[in-house]
Amino acid sequence: EQIYAAQTQSGPCCLDTRDDALIFYEGMDLLALPPDGGTIELIHSFDSTPGSYSMNDTHLFYIRDGSLHRVARGEADETAEVIAEGFEDFYDGIMGLTETHLYYFDQSETTLNQLPLDGSARASRLVEIDGEPVSAVLTPDGRSVIVVLELAGGAGNELVRVALDGAATVTPLAGPSIPSSARRPILPRVSPDGRSLAFADRGEWEVFVRALDGHGLLQVTDGDGWGSAWSADSHRLFYSNSNSLE
């Protein structure tokens, strides 16, 4: 275990990785920490807090005030352009980004949608989720989505895998229905090789890892952990621990 950044002013959050650099927020700044633990790079400074973000090699995409914005990496926030409207209702904002499409949840219909980035067509529905989705992520192969469902009556959360094959087959991964599992799983992160799933337990504030296909559960942290992100080779896991990245 190695501490990569410690005692930041407001605490790092919203972990992600790109090209093996660790991406995280501090205040209104989106930052990148290189894999060798060197100088932190400023990716973007937001004028106000976005609902969610995703990025590729050239641009940053984020939702704010019901609109999807695009801004070139390294450019000022005021240069951002609105590329789509109608994002007043969404779950956990942007779920995934490929070279051609952006994926997001529509809260009003609990549906997973895809939007072409070139503006050639309007968003289209991929699958409807049965339940109350809280957040979700696509698997690297694009064949399924990992969804956090909020259970009725405060019974906790259920972490499930929903197939995007038209049948929308649901496979439970963590939650009260699985013995010796986390009762309130949140913040799922699938490894780039598609083999492992990391998530946090909101009840215990611990980070866990399990095989995406199969069984078994490994507790990564001991007393303090929440957000997580995988390295590009899927061999390392970063996570937030109080005000540190480890």
pLDDT tens for 99-147 read 788 877 776 667 778 888 877 888 888 787 777 777 778 888 888 888 8
Determine the pLDDT at residue 191.
92
Q: What is the pLDDT of residue 211?
A: 92
Is the pLDDT at 11 greater than 60, yes or no? no
Share of the chain above pLDDT 70, in %: 83
Residue 76: is its pLDDT beyond 50? yes
**245 near 11, Cβ under 8 Å?**
no
CA pair distance 172, 147, nearest whole angstrom: 10
pLDDT at residue 85, rounded to an integer: 77
Average pLDDT of 4-25? 54
Query: CA quadruple 116, 122, 126, 128: dihedral positive or negative?
Result: positive
Interior angle at CA 144, CA 131 and CA 51, nearest 5: 65
**Residue 222 CA to its chain's centroid (Å):** 22
pLDDT at 91: 47
Dump pLDDT digits (tens) for 229-245: 888 888 888 877 765 55
pLDDT at 51 over 70: no
Question: 70 pairs with which residues across the strands?
Answer: 61, 81
How far apart are alpha carbons 156 and 185 in whole angstroms? 8
60: tokens are: 């940053």
Contact 129, 111 (CB under 8 A): yes
Tell me the pLDDT of the chain averaged across its residues. 77
What pLDDT digit, counting tens, does each position of 175-217 carry?
888 877 777 888 888 998 999 999 888 878 888 899 998 778 8
Q: What is the 3-state secondary structure (H, E, C) of 119-173?
A: CCCCCEEEEECCCCEEEEEECCCCCEEEEEEECHHHCCEEEEEEECCCCCCEEEE
